[in-house]
Amino acid sequence: MIVYYNGQLMLKSNVCISPDDRGFLFGDGTYEVVRVYQGELFHFDGHLTRLARSLREIQIQLDGLAFLNEVSQLLIKKNKLQDSDATLYIQITRGIAPRHHRFPERIDPTVYVTATASKRPLKELKEGVSVHLAPDRRWGRCDIKSIALLANVLASQEAADQGAYETIFIRDEVLTEGTHTNFCMIFDGIVQTHPANCNILDGITREVVLNLCHDLKIPVQEIPIPADRIHDADEAFILGSTTEIMPVIRIDKKQIGSGEPGLITRKLQKAFNREIEK
Ligand SMILES: Cc1ncc(COP(=O)(O)O)c(C=O)c1O
């Protein structure tokens, strides 16, 4: 597998990461996961804009991210993914320096990019999945796509242990988002989702879907949803670059709607598939 590491394309097995890299020592970095459909990057500009914002917020200086476009295209080609569905992973850390908490002076960020074949979760997209609820134990800047994901990892494992696909977090009695997805519920034909503030990551898929709702004249409310409203929900779904629009048919012991993917969710999935084919 060919990857990009600090200015070079090379075999993944030849990448040598320093133990002094601040990504390794502190989780001091940011990342993006971009979907590739049949060799084409999906909403890459949105990911670059968010990456630039994350870098700004954590004060990592890396001017001009446009080179990542070329790097991504090269990785798709070199790994023979032109006709495949794949996932592109970009990680940028503050760089290498002796271990001190404060920012070191004059270091170059570490940039690592991979492209890996990955199939769409078609069975789950059709049948829907169950999710699990758990307290949101993450930090107060969930709007930054930090590589420090321990709370997400633990909550994701909790879902797996319960036989669920994803964990949805509850903070201050409100449903925020999943460990790697945004969360929406539908009440009386209105799609509700948490506002894009510091308690969630403003997902690229979320943005695509809110635009689709606008086009399809499906009303949307970006408001905090109290956790006990799962009992009134007609439909629910989670959103993410690899998850797409995944119907949620059960939240812990509570069945959502008829226990099958709902009509509005299906309509949005169809529109999303058209967006992929564009
Ligand atoms: C916490 C969290 N929320 C939401 C998302 C969905 O974001 P996107 O649609 O940009 O993949 C992700 C993606 O990894 C995430 O980690």
The alpha carbon of 241 and the centre of ligand 1 are apart by a number of angstroms equal to 7
Q: Ligand 1, residue 241: give the atom nearest the CA.
A: 11
Tell me: pLDDT of 209 over 90: yes
Tell me the pTM.
Answer: 0.97
Q: Which of 147, 180, 245 to mutate to test the pocket of ligand 1 (most atoms within 8 A of CB)?
A: 180
Cα-Cα-Cα-Cα torsion 227, 231, 235, 238, nearest 10 degrees, comes to 30
Q: From atom 3 of ligand 1, which residue's Cα is the shortest distance away?
A: 181
Residue-by-residue DSSP string for 88-126: EEEEEE--B-SS-SSPPSS-PPEEEEEEEE----HHHHH
Q: Which of 141, 181, 211 to mutate to test the pocket of ligand 1 (most atoms within 8 A of CB)?
A: 181
148-152 long-range contacts, CB within 8 A, separation 24+:
148/26, 148/27, 148/28, 149/27, 150/27, 152/179, 152/180
Task: Please report, rounded to a whole number, the percentage of residues in the chain having pLDDT higher than 70.
Answer: 100
Residues 235-257, mean pLDDT to the nearest whole number: 98
Ligand 1 pocket at CB < 6 A: 33, 177, 180-182, 201, 203-206, 239-241
Q: What pLDDT sits at residue 21? A: 98
**Rounded Cα distance, 31 and 90, in Å:** 5
pLDDT band at 171 (very low <50, low <70, confident <90, very high): very high
Reply yes or no on whether 145 is catalytic.
yes
The Cβ-side half-sphere exposure at 216, using a 13 Å CA radius, reads 22
Q: From atom 13 of ligand 1, which residue's Cα is the shortest distance away?
A: 180
Tell me: pLDDT of 52 over 90: yes
Cβ pair 15, 3 in contact under 8 A: yes
Share the mean pLDDT of the chain: 98
Tell me: pLDDT of 180 over 90: yes
DSSP-assigned beta bridge partners for residue 232: none
Q: From atom 1 of ligand 1, which residue's Cα is the shortest distance away?
A: 180
Over the stretch 60-94, which tens digit does the pLDDT of each residue have?
Answer: 999 899 999 999 999 999 999 999 999 999 999 99
Q: From atom 15 of ligand 1, which residue's Cα is the shortest distance away?
A: 180
Over the stretch 211-224, which tens digit does the pLDDT of each residue have?
Answer: 999 999 999 999 99
Domains, the chain: 2-117 (3.30.470.10), 122-277 (3.20.10.10)
Over the stretch 95-150, which tens digit does the pLDDT of each residue have?
Answer: 999 999 999 998 999 999 999 999 999 999 999 999 999 999 999 999 999 999 99
Among residues 145, 253, 254, 270, the one annotated as catalytic is 145
Q: What pLDDT sits at residue 63? A: 82
Q: 170: closest CA among 254, 237, 229, 220?
A: 229
Tell me: pLDDT of 194 over 90: yes
Residues 246-264, mean pLDDT to the nearest whole number: 97
Residues 173-189, mean pLDDT to the nearest whole number: 98
